[in-house]
Every structure is written in C-alpha cells, then in structure tokens.
C-alpha cells in the first residue's frame, strides 16, 4: 500500500512539473508575442523567439514519464512535439518578419489547442501554497450587464408560489 502511494505521489509530482513548464511557456508566449517578431526584425536575432520557448525542465527520463498513463504520455508528447516544431521554425526560418508573424500565429493556435488537451489530461499546476494555479482571461464580453443577462434565467427556473403548481396567489 505504501509503495502504491509513493508511486501515485511521484506521478503527481511529475504531472505538476510538466504542467508548470507548459504553463510557463504559454504565459511567456502570451506576454511576449507582440514583441518577439518586432525584436527579430529589428535586431536580426532569434534569441527573443527561442528564449521564449525555452523549457525550464529540459530533461525527463523514460522511467519518470512511465509513471504517467498512456493518455497522459500522448498529450504531453503532443504538446512538446508542437513546441519543438515552433522552436525548429524559429531556429531555421529565412522568412521575413511579416511571414514569420503569420507562421507564428498559426503555430501558436495549434500550441494553444494541444496545451488545452494537456491541461485536461494532467491538470493545472499546483502553486507553492498547494492551490491549483489557473490563469483566466475574458474571451467575450456581453453587451448587457451580468445581472441583466441572468435575470430572465432566474425567473424561468424559480418554482411557482403556493405549492399547487398553478402559480396562483
């Protein structure tokens, strides 16, 4: 029983490290995406592109990764494969900055998709206080206020008064 708990704890730690690394990469990409190509164009240096994609945990052994389920291994592999494709592109591209921006946008969208699958499979990273770390961003704003939008729904699901189901007073 103790061995099983140790194995589960080790797998959870591995999942968390992968989730932390992936979240850090995605956060850096989000924060730097506007500047990366501009710096590439102005400085003629690939360093801003490649340092943004750097993994902070560059090695994981087969023994460690074998602790993950087969599905988890597949989504982790898909994420790092997609990241490697972006890194390869930035390392060897001869594209002009506008084309590099378009290629980055396409590859970044794909990386976002595989990152979502990774988070779904292994979870969000756990912070130093033991709480799950989740970055959220508003993706759509409604024209009406939240209270106005929810009010009709609340009226529809409210049970009828009087208990007879007739809705009379």
For the range 21-28, what are the long-range contacts, defined as Cβ-Cβ under 8 Å and sequence gap of 24 or more? 21/55, 21/56, 21/57, 22/79, 22/115, 22/118, 22/119, 23/124, 23/125, 23/133, 23/135, 24/56, 25/52, 25/53, 25/54, 25/55, 25/83, 26/111, 26/112, 26/115, 27/135, 28/52, 28/53
142 found inside a domain: no
161 found inside a domain: no
Alpha-carbon span 12 to 164, nearest angstrom: 53
pTM above 0.75, yes or no: no
154 found inside a domain: no
pLDDT tens-place values along the chain, 169 residues long: 677 777 788 999 999 999 999 999 999 999 998 899 899 888 888 898 899 999 887 788 889 999 999 999 999 999 999 999 999 999 999 999 999 999 999 999 999 999 999 999 999 999 777 666 555 454 555 554 444 444 443 333 334 444 444 444 4
Reported as a single tens digit per residue, the pLDDT across 19-49 is 999 999 999 999 998 899 899 888 888 898 8
Structural domains in the chain (count):
1
164 found inside a domain: no
Q: What tokens appear for 94 in the block?
A: 């001869």
In Å, what is the CA distance from 67 to each residue of 27, 48, 162? Answer: 26, 34, 58
Domain span holding position 92: 2-137
Polymer length of the chain: 169
Q: How high is the pLDDT of residue 32? A: 93
Q: What tokens appear for 35 in the block?
A: 């500047």
């Amino acid at each position: 029983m103790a061995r099983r708990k140790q194995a589960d704890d080790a797998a959870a730690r591995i999942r968390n490290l992968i989730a932390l690394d992936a979240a850090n990469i995605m956060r850096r990409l989000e924060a730097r995406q506007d500047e990366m190509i501009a710096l590439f164009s102005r400085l003629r240096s690939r360093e801003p592109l490649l340092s943004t994609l750097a993994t902070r945990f560059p090695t994981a052994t087969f023994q460690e990764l074998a602790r993950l389920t087969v599905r988890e291994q597949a989504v982790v592999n898909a994420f790092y494969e997609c990241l490697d494709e972006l890194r390869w592109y930035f390392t060897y591209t001869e594209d002009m900055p506008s084309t590099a921006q378009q290629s980055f946008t396409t590859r970044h969208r794909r990386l976002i998709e595989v990152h979502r699958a990774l988070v779904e499979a292994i979870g969000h990273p756990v912070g130093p206080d033991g709480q799950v770390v989740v970055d959220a961003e508003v993706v759509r704003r409604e024209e009406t206020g939240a209270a106005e939008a929810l009010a009709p729904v609340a009226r529809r699901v409210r049970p009828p008064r009087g208990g007879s189901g007739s809705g009379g007073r």
